[in-house]
Amino acid sequence: MRNRRAPSRALATAAAAERPRRYHVGGHQREALAPAAGLYLVSTPIGNLRDVTLRALETLAGVDLIACEDTRVTRKLLDHFGIETPMTAYHEHNAAAARPRLLARLADGAAVALVSDAGTPLVSDPGFKLVRAAREAGHAVTAVPGASAVLAALVSSGVATDRFFFEGFLPPKSAGRRRRIDEIAEIPASLVLFETGPRLAASLADLADRLGSRHASVCRELTKLHEEIRSGDLVALARAYAGAPPPRGEIVIVVAPPGAAAAADDRAVDALLRAALGGGSLKDAVDDVAAATGHPRRVVYQRALALTKDRGDGAPR
């Protein structure tokens, strides 16, 4: 009886070498050279397919294998540009099992591209473990730069761009989210956050509560047909999205660094608090002064507690 074992990796590599390495641009077919062996980190469009680079297309058409988060998503990109490179899934749920197989292909001398569903790989995905393992094994790692939702939102937001901190997604539950916001509140840089439509209103409410009225922008569906950027202070943005239907699409929030909003020194804050405390509850006074000065609510609350203690008012109202 004939041996029906699966073909060796060497045979698979030889078969891959025979496939067409080409892509289409503007109705014209182009040939792609096979790149040198190694791992290629290829950025893909975040919405508008015309944002893909020629180098990205050449690389995707030329490599032996493309590792991607979701083969169905990447297939749409490849089909649009007539690319026939085989794909394999590599995501957070299968990374531990898929990583050794990709490293084995690299060890056999293959060229492998890593892509995310959209944008630059390794941003909020498990790709860094593959990059680290590839480097430790002595394989070449090359970045093929392109679109990034982080940078697209930052430069479109009107918020300071000289220094920024990328947080990614905040915790999904309010208690954890508020703790994390407090931890990053005093970072002297603009904050860049990812968020989902269903959680946007709650996250903005917590950001406004902990950071006050810092300037911010909510950037949605960047580069797509229904791109939208809404700017204002966090308090106003939280009110605008409260009770509204959850927005659709990919969302990036950019928040100005501490001190970037209209702020007052401690003596001015104390003066505002004394006036506010004279006509209402501590909670209302803190809310009003935080909104007026841009100081984080927790900072204003501590100042209010100190003032009520100094004047002997007893427990906060």
What residues contact 20, with CB distance under 8 A and at least 6 apart? Answer: 84
- Please name which of 116, 106, 134 lies closest in space to residue 35, comparing C-alpha atoms: 106
Indicate the pLDDT class of residue 280, thresholds 50, 70 and 90. Answer: confident
Fold of 9-147: Cobalt-precorrin-4 Transmethylase; domain 1 (3.40.1010)
Instruction: Compute CA distances 205 → 200, 284, 286, 291, whole Å.
Output: 9, 16, 15, 13
- Mean residue pLDDT of the chain comes to 88
The torsion angle over the Cα atoms of residues 67, 70, 75 and 81, rounded to 10 degrees, is -70
Question: Is residue 12's pLDDT more than 70?
Answer: no
Residue 69 CA to residue 90 CA, distance in Å, equals 5
C-alpha span between 250 and 235 (Å, rounded): 22
Distance from C-alpha of 295 to C-alpha of 37, rounded to nearest angstrom = 53
Asked if 19 and 84 touch (Cβ cutoff 8 Å), the reply is yes
Which of 108, 109, 113, 107 shows the shortest CA–CA distance to 90?
113
* CA 241/CA 187 separation, integer angstroms: 26
Does the pLDDT at position 37 exceed 90?
yes
Percent of the chain with pLDDT over 90: 71
Q: 313: closest CA among 267, 269, 305?
A: 305
For 150-255, which CATH superfamily applies? Answer: Tetrapyrrole methylase, C-terminal domain (3.30.950.10)
**pLDDT greater at residue 213 or residue 199:** 199
Note the pLDDT tens digit of each residue in 124-171.
777 899 999 999 999 999 999 999 999 999 999 999 999 999 999 999
Q: What's the CA gap between 254 and 277, in Å, rounded?
A: 33
Indicate whether 84 pLDDT > 90. Answer: yes
pLDDT of the residue at 17: 57
Q: How high is the pLDDT of residue 16?
A: 54
Alpha helix stretches (DSSP H) within the chain:
9-18, 54-62, 71-80, 95-107, 127-136, 149-156, 174-184, 197-211, 234-241, 266-277, 282-293, 297-310
For the chain, domain boundaries: 9-147, 150-255, 266-310
pLDDT band for position 275 (cuts 50, 70, 90) = confident
Sheet holding 87-89, edge to edge: 87-89, 65-68, 111-115, 38-42, 141-144
